[in-house]
Amino acid sequence: MRNTIQFRTHQREELIDITEEVQKNVRNSGIRNGIVALYAQGATGAIMIQENWDASIRTDVVHLLRKLIPRGVWLHDQQDGNGDSHLKAGLIGPSETIPLIEGSLGLSRWQNIFFCEFDGPRQQRTVISTIIEDR
């Protein structure tokens, strides 16, 4: 079963929790066991599984990536000024695969699923959710 999750972003760099939308897709699928594959469309967005208990984690991730991959120093910046966005998205990666166990995402208590925006704000971002059933 395949669905899309669409949403708006509000900052140039931010982590947006999409766990509840993914879980809703799982419930609507009726599939109890298998895997959920998530894929972020776009070259400047990514998917990350990270702690959500403390919002400072999201801020720390953004700050770390800003230090590792600063803005304005890359060859691609001569094209459209977002070379760092492409590099950050490539480093984190566009996808995650999560086990589906008895109708629930196989995440630990502290894990959530985040879309990582590195070139916002955007009117629309899309994550493709594919749920594959164990047979």
**Using CA atoms, how far apart are residues 134 and 32, in angstroms rounded to an integer?**
9
Q: pLDDT tens across 14-73, in order?
A: 999 999 999 999 999 999 999 999 999 999 999 999 998 898 999 999 999 999 999 999
Domains annotated for the chain, with CATH where assigned, are 2-133 (2.60.120.460)
Q: pLDDT tens across 80-97, in order?
A: 999 999 999 999 999 999
For the whole model, what pTM was predicted?
Answer: 0.96
